[in-house]
Chains A and B, each alone.
Chain A
Amino acid sequence: MADTPATVTLTIDGREVTVPKGTTLLKAATEAGKDVPHYCYHDGLSSPAQCRLCLVEVEGAPKPMPSCVTQAMDGQVVRTESELALDMRKGVLEFYLVNHPLDCPICDMSGECNLQNYVHEEGREHGRSREPKRVFGRDDFGGDVLYYGDRCVMCTRCVRFMSEVEQDHRLTVVERGSRSVIDTFFEEGLEGTHWHGNVVDICPVGALVSKDFLYKARAWDLTHTPGVCPNCSQGCNIDLHVRDNLVQRLKPRENLEVNAFWMCDYGRGNYEWINRGDRLEAPLVREGGSTRAMGWKDALSRLLAGVEGASGKGIRAVASPFSSNEDLAALRALVDEFGGGEIVYRSARAEDEIVLKGFPTLARRRDLAPNGKGADLLGMKRVGGDDATGGLEGVAGHGGIVIVLGDALADQGADFGSAAALYVYLGGHGGPATANAHFVLPTATFAETEGTFTNFEGRVQRFAPALDAPGASRPAWLVLNALVAERTQGEVPRTAAAAFAVAGTKAGPFAGMRYDEIGPRGAVVNETVSLSGD
């Protein structure tokens, strides 16, 4: 077999494509720019070829072939849109609609439903079935999942996800023929599993829906913004689905290097804090006994004078691992510029990792913050306990300059920073511990700015702004870098790319990386030991 070519060349809809040997017709068709409709096939799962929707006509084959399991062969002539193929699909879709309830107006999947799309594109205009449809009602699967049996097309993606990827056999098909439904074993349900939210994502119709998202928003009202999950250091690629400037849900975005197609239930359900109200909206400056809101220009010129006046007594800073690399690098640059000092950060640690057995490089990591690694690389020190409290004894009573970036200081009392010559707080929310602050500056959260996070393995990944920042909030990197630039008479980095370049000057691993070259899969920092081997 030495002369077997590693690639095969075939013709799909009159177009010649060359694909690696072993590629399925469905993938080869994608290569040729044709999307073959399919339900049971999913890139991350096995192919049982049971939905019969991806049938295509292959010249020489006695009958249409399921393209998701048929391997491409040299010289094959495939037609995905011939009369026979279209007729087959039309027939299959009509069978699906025999029992599908067509309750699209109240179905959460409506607008992103594959049955809707396929029937609209290729199906019949009117059904011919006159029989009453079977009715199952809905079933609570436990966890965050509801099952509407009537809508199910029996693709068994959910069953295969639980058995192949999560490897916890919780779902199965019971009964046969038109009576078949997905069910759980006894009363066990999906309760207690950590990745079951993914079955809602992979369900091609509205049979499995999220309880949290139930009836909340229509799919077409949501704007999708690519982001990075902020709930642990794995850095899963996500889409933030936003309506009315509020995050409505988080959905995983494909990145085979990090999270494949999946994300954990912990990360998925933990988004309400992004929407928290009562935000700081204008720079607050303490003058004498009272606090006054003022514009950025006035606040920053006063701040620069204050920092220069107090810089002789040393700087202590508290950072947050929820801040982007750009924010942290700007803080590092500021601290270095005014004589240097220790920067600490606090982050919560979970008891243990939750590994996805079918894709073991993906886990809910112990570190429950997205950018602890970035802080480490920039020479910041983790302090405090596993619940992200304590550890600030050295800062709270410091007599020089105290800078807090992002940390809400929820566990600190009203005497925090009372001894400080200058106490600057940058964050989204005020609290008792900001009472002594000379400057309270409103900054934007990760969901409101562009930037990057560095995940546990040192992969730098970009995220885009999904929400509008409230009031006069600005990215922390813009504020901090403006101070540094004012002092050094340098240029203020006005873009996230320029702010990321500051990180390169402050930490070796970031050096040589360029913001616009990071790409959709992320880029691993230049460390001597790289865990991913990328």
Chain B
Amino acid sequence: MAISVKVLDRPHPETTSYLRASLKGMALTFRHIARRKVTQQYPEDQTDLSPRWRGTHRMEVHADGRPKCVACGLCPTGGPANCIRLVGGEDDQGNRYPVVYEIDEFRCIFCGMCQEVCPVEAIHVGRHFENAEYTRDRFVYDLDRLMEQEHPATLLWDPSDPRSE
């Protein structure tokens, strides 16, 4: 096919009036004044999170303040992002517990597998996303920090039916 050049018939600045186009544009603008606003005044106005929202992790604790985690090792195994570091050990009562439990929230892809596989309902992804920090290392959440999280767990998990039975 031979190469051809298409010449466009462009409006010429000296012979064309823009008045009609300007009025058309302004009409659109004024139409929007009457419409419902879509802009949200975040952070004053908070967004509604989806019921399937999976955000910052939290660790459930027993009444006496111990973490519910038994260091079974399923969450680092099940999760695809290799973001959980877990070292198990024995506490003074002979129970298995996590000596080290760290989640790197940067590595994490928030798949929610850790919550899915947890046999003791200890680790959860939460309804929370505002975890900005000033330094990168603060994004590695250790066990104490995970236990201190106050936001609710995701709605994917129903505490009244923890095993989805």
Contact = CB atoms under 8 A, between A and B. Distances in A.
A526 B86 CA distance: 50
A105 B77 contact: no
B90 A105 contact: no
Contacts of A105: 70, 72, 74, 119-120
Given A215-B71, A216-B88, A106 B96 contact: yes
Contacts of B94: 138
B70 A218 contact: no
Nearest to A111: B73
Contacts of B152: none
Nearest to B118: A105
Interface string B68-92: 0011111001000000000011100
A220 interface: yes
How big is chain B's contact interface, by range?
10 to 19
A110 interface: yes
A265 B14 CA distance: 100
A387 interface: no
Nearest to A216: B88
Main secondary structure of the interface of B (DSSP, over half): loop
Nearest to A221: B73
A105 B120 CA distance: 9
A90 B74 CA distance: 27
Nearest to B88: A215
Contacts of A217: 88
A318 B96 CA distance: 47
Contact of B96 (A215, A220, A221): A215
A105 to B, nearest CB: 3
A246 to B, nearest CB: 11
A214 interface: yes
B77 A214 contact: no
Interface string B103-147: 000000000000000011000000000000000000000000000
A221 B74 CA distance: 11
Contacts of A138: 94
Nearest to A217: B88
Given A105-B70, A105-B72, A110-B72, A215 B119 contact: no
Contacts of B119: 104-105
Contacts of A104: 72, 119
Interface string A207-218: 000000011111
Interface in A53-104: 104
Nearest to A243: B87
Contacts of A216: 88-89
B72 A214 contact: no
B60 to A, nearest CB: 15
A218 B95 CA distance: 16
A28 to B, nearest CB: 37
A230 B21 CA distance: 88
A105 B94 CA distance: 15
B90 A106 contact: no
B71 to A, nearest CB: 7
Contacts of A215: 71, 88-90, 96
Given A214-B90, A215-B88, A215-B90, A106 B77 contact: no
Nearest to A138: B94
Contacts of B70: 105-106
Interface in A195-248: 214-218, 220-221
Contacts of A221: 73, 77
A151 B151 CA distance: 38
B93 to A, nearest CB: 12
Nearest to A105: B72
Contacts of A218: 72-73, 77, 88
Contacts of A106: 70-72, 95-96
A215 B89 CA distance: 5
Interface of B: 70-74, 77, 88-90, 94-96, 119-120
Given A106-B96, A215-B71, 16 more contacts: A104-B119, A105-B74, A105-B120, A106-B70, A106-B71, A106-B72, A110-B72, A138-B94, A215-B88, A215-B96, A216-B89, A218-B73, A218-B88, A220-B73, A221-B73, A221-B77
9 contacts: A105-B74, A105-B119, A105-B120, A106-B71, A106-B72, A214-B90, A215-B71, A215-B89, A215-B96
